[in-house]
Amino acid sequence: MTAQPILRVSALSKEFRGTRALNEFYLDVAEGEIVALIGPSGCGKSTLLRCLTWLEQPDDGFIEVAGRPFGRALMPRGVVRRQSRREIDALRPKIGLVFQQLNLWPHLTALENVVRPQTVVLGRARAEATRRADELLGRLGLADRAGRYPHALSGGQKQRVAIARALAMEPALMLFDEPTSALDPELVGEVLTVLKSLAATGMTMLVVTHEIGFAVNVADRIAFMDAGAVIEEGPAREVVANPRTPRLRSFLDLVLDRAQVPSGETLALPQTE
């Protein structure tokens, strides 16, 4: 019997001013799986993550998290019931989202950025929340930065604080929206190392990324998205080495040296000036 996926997305649709950002989007993510979501700018990747956390309300379709409906539930006789704000808020902590813009509170220290959501959303005692925050910041190499405010942290350090804040909520699933896009090139490797360490713990992750090398070497599966839907998916190395659709083939031709892909353990990426 196949295990219930941690995330199941069925026929999810979203329009903005007549333009379809999500077009009957389908995706399952199994427990412990790392799925990299790739695709051109404007294909709906960030909109998807916002809909998965109900920061944007999808127009149609269904989301299940750990077997439970989230946002909208299909009832007997095909009736769709919109969940209450209380029901949505109760399940939302199961999904950790690290934003592209990070969204750290600038007036709070790194430690307090991790503590505050635990006390407010989960109702944890401050001592317990602080202990959890200290543990996570230490694990992510930030023990000596706990008392600093975001303006005094590097981009990579702020990214790690945001990851610690999401992990502190003990989610069933972690979502990452282009986790390296706002970083200087020398900091990209630092954050990718953190993501690899999370993968090694068995954390279930859906990572929107333009780092094809990371997707191939860390993800179990790649899903290629275009025009609001997944048009090709499969084992990470196989998808990149042998794309089946012309659209994915042309996309990959733009972002990597395809001649290097099938040859072995490393993936050659374009050289930057």
pLDDT(141) > 80: yes
The pTM (predicted TM-score) of the whole model is 0.84
The fourth-level CATH superfamily of domain 7-263 is P-loop containing nucleotide triphosphate hydrolases (3.40.50.300)
Per DSSP, 11 falls in state: E
| Dmax (CA) of the chain | 59
Determine the pLDDT at residue 269: 41
Summarize pLDDT for 162-202 with one digit per residue, the tens: 989 999 998 999 998 887 776 666 667 777 778 888 888 88
206 and 37 Cβ atoms separated by less than 8 Å = yes
- Residue 235 CB contacts under 8 Å (≥ 6 apart), including other chains: 220, 221, 222
Summarize pLDDT for 42-79 with one digit per residue, the tens: 899 989 999 999 989 999 999 999 889 999 988 888 78
Cα(109)–Cα(106) distance, integer angstroms: 8
Determine the pLDDT at residue 3: 64
Q: Where are the domains of the chain?
A: 7-263
pLDDT(149) > 60: yes
pLDDT(259) > 60: no
Compute CA 37 distance to the chain's CA centroid, rounded to the nearest angstrom: 9
Cα(6)–Cα(205) distance, integer angstroms: 10
- The pair of structure tokens assigned to 170 is 């003990």
pLDDT (average), residues 243-260 = 80
More confident position, 268 or 158: 158
- The pair of structure tokens assigned to 121 is 């959303």
Summarize pLDDT for 89-109 with one digit per residue, the tens: 888 888 998 876 668 999 999
Residue 82's H or E segment, with its range, is strand 80-82
In angstroms, the Cα distances linking 272 to 209, 211, 241, 246, 256 are 18, 13, 22, 26, 11
Burial category of 86 from C-beta neighbours within 10 Å (exposed 0-12, middle 13-18, buried 19 and up): exposed
pLDDT(225) > 50: yes
